[in-house]
């Protein structure tokens, strides 16, 4: 029994390593340009084992993206629990939360670009929502902190009380993420000019902040 337990632990570590390596490969080369055999060669896990465990390349891609989101969560953990952040007005807290999307855009461009490719892959392959539950849970969710900032702002008089804050959160998040993905996909039309992409994102931040500011 002990030998079987050790073997299972070793297999689990090898699978986790394969997921981490596939995540790095996707970041560097994109999803389409990485084959299962490439992942097998780089991780030392047989391609047959990968297919047995994940079923398809889609399976390991979902696992890799979940891994990347969890890594980002670790990087951001604690920032919004600091004394400096909590001492600010609700409006200032909300402003800093909204600017986290610009941080993702500036500091993690490869990841944001990969998100766009991943979304298109999930749509193209018609992946059922049930297979994306763990991935969904891994995505950084600022809503709890965001809601607390909104309530603080209403209480301290810096934020309007008549705003549908959940609708604002969803709308703003979608707009920022999709704009970031578009900017990172690159210019397509002759009139496209993404040289001031960061300023476009900042414009959305400023617009949202001014919308909720109490006059």
- List, for residues 186-207, the tens digit of each pLDDT value: 999 999 999 999 999 999 999 9
Task: Supply φ then ψ for residue 52, to 5 degrees.
Answer: -65, -40
Q: Which of 36, 210, 62 lies closest to 130 in space, CA to CA?
A: 62
pLDDT for 59 equals 96
Domain C-terminal end among 13, 35, 55: 55
CA separation for the pair 87, 149 (Å, rounded): 11
By residue count, the chain amounts to 215
**Residue 128: which of 30, 23, 58 has the closest Cα?**
58
Do 107 and 4 belong together in one domain? no
Domain CATH code at residue 40: 1.10.10.60
Same domain membership, residue 188 and residue 141? yes
The Cα-based distances of 209 to 24, 96, 160, 205 in angstroms read 35, 10, 11, 6
Mean pLDDT score of the chain, rounded to an integer?
91
Largest CA distance in the chain: 69
Q: Which of 138, 114, 135, 115 is nearest to 27 (CA)?
A: 114
Residues 6 or more apart whose Cβ sits within 8 Å of residue 23: 64, 65, 67, 68
Query: Could you tell me which of 155, 14, 37, 167 has the C-alpha nearest to residue 91?
Result: 155
Whether residues 107 and 186 fall in one domain: yes
Answer yes or no: do 158 and 182 share one domain: yes
Mean pLDDT of 125-148: 92
Is the pLDDT at 6 greater than 70, yes or no?
no
Q: Are 214 and 159 in contact (CB under 8 A)?
A: yes
The Cα–Cα gap between 37 and 43 comes to 10
pLDDT of res. 11: 62
Residues 125 and 51 in one domain: no
User: What is the per-residue pLDDT for 13?
Assistant: 85
Is the predicted pLDDT of residue 18 greater than 90, yes or no?
yes
Query: Which pLDDT belongs to residue 80?
Result: 86
Q: How many domains does the chain have?
A: 2
- Model confidence over 44-96: pLDDT tens digits? 999 999 999 999 999 999 999 999 999 988 888 788 888 999 999 999 999 99
Q: Which residues constitute the domain of residue 33?
A: 1-55
Domain boundary among 13, 33, 55: 55
- What pLDDT is stored for residue 113 in this prediction? 92
Give the pLDDT of residue 9. 59
Q: How far is CA 9 from the centre of its chain?
A: 29
Q: Residue 140's pLDDT is what?
A: 83
């Amino acid at each position: 029994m002990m030998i079987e337990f050790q073997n299972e632990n070793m297999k689990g570590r090898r699978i986790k390593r394969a997921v981490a390596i596939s995540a790095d490969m996707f970041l560097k080369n994109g999803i389409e340009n990485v084959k299962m055999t490439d992942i097998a060669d780089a991780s030392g896990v047989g391609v047959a084992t990968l297919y047995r465990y994940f079923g398809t390349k889609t399976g390991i891609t979902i696992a890799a993206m979940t891994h990347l989101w969890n890594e980002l969560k670790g990087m951001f953990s604690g920032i919004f629990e600091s004394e400096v952040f909590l001492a600010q007005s609700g409006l200032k807290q909300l402003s800093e939360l909204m600017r986290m999307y610009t941080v993702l855009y500036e500091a993690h461009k490869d990841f944001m670009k990969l998100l766009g490719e991943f979304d298109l892959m999930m749509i193209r392959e018609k992946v059922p929502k049930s297979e994306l539950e763990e991935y969904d849970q891994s995505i950084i969710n600022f809503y709890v902190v965001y809601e607390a900032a909104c309530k603080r702002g209403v209480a301290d008089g810096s934020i309007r009380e008549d705003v549908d804050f959940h609708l604002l959160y969803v709308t703003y998040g979608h707009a920022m993420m999709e704009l970031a993905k578009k900017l990172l996909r690159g210019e397509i039309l002759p009139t496209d000019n993404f040289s001031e992409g960061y300023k476009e994102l900042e414009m959305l931040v400023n617009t949202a902040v001014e919308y909720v500011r109490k006059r």
